[in-house]
Amino acid sequence: MPVFAGAGGSLPMARKFAAAAERAGADGILLLPPYLVGCPAPGVARYVTEVAASTQLPVIVYQRNNAVFTPEAAVEVAKLSNVIGFKDGIGDMDLMQRIVLSVREAVDKPFQFFNGLPTAEMTQPAYRGIGVELYSSAVFCFAPEISLAFYKAVTAGDSDKVNALLHGFYKPLVELRDKVPGYAVSLVKAAVSRGGLDVGGVRPPLLDPTEEHLAELDRIIEAGRKLIAE
């Protein structure tokens, strides 16, 4: 499987992360936002340009938090020779539709768009509607059979199965996730541990789930497995 290593933060650190990934044999970079500061879209495009120029590796750009692109800025970075994809973690469908249309009109090379929102399955039917068919699945880390069942249903256009899984598994999971900031990470790690792989707890400032929430997580996962068994 291809490995895309994370890079981001300040420009010097992002370059160092990219160089370390290249030395370690990674297949590409997922470029996260600059650290902390608010920044205009042309500045974000310049950040991507300078990081991409520092590495031979393919780069997927991650739009999230303070790294928000205009369609013009997205086209600018998509034209860079080693930028091969654009992952959206903002969820502004109007903006994303304009970015998809602009890039596909202006860029003549293979280029991928990804839905990168937390628990992306909840929004994937909407993303498919604007031409974004790929997404990342945190659920795949701890319940791959549920994740794959949803993927097969959504790609096949089986709306009954999609809606059953959204209602019976993903919606309760998102409602639990939203109870505590950072649970998008903490619940995944806890579920992996409860599945038999000792990955330890999360690091501060994140919090591990409470016993009550762990019990709720177990019930949600069991409900999801029953749904796909049916």
- Give CA–CA dist 71/56, Å, rounded: 25
Model confidence band, residue 224 (pLDDT cutoffs 50, 70, 90): very high
- Give CA–CA dist 153/133, Å, rounded: 13
Q: CB neighbours (10 Å) of residue 107? A: 16
The gap between the terminal CA atoms of the chain, to the nearest Å, is 31
pLDDT of residue 36: 87
Quick: pLDDT tens for 54-67: 999 999 999 999 99
DSSP class of residue 90? S
* pLDDT surpasses 90 at 184: yes
Quick: pLDDT tens for 126-165: 999 999 999 999 999 999 999 999 999 999 999 999 999 9
CATH value of 1-136 in 3.40.1190.20, 1.25.40.10, 3.20.20.70, 3.30.420.10: 3.20.20.70
Give the rounded percent of residues in the chain with a pLDDT score beyond 70: 100
pLDDT of residue 77: 98
Compute the CA torsion angle 98, 99, 103, 106 (nearest 10 deg).
Answer: 50
* pLDDT surpasses 90 at 49: yes
pLDDT of residue 63: 98
pLDDT average, residue stretch 110-128 = 97
Report the predicted TM-score, pTM, of the whole model to 2 decimal places.
0.94
Give the residue from 29, 3, 1, 33 showing the smallest Cα distance to 17.
29
Boundaries of every domain in the chain: 1-136, 139-230
pLDDT of residue 80: 98
| Contact predicate 28/4, CB 8 Å | yes
pLDDT average, residue stretch 176-203 = 97
- Give CA–CA dist 207/92, Å, rounded: 28
* pLDDT surpasses 90 at 200: yes
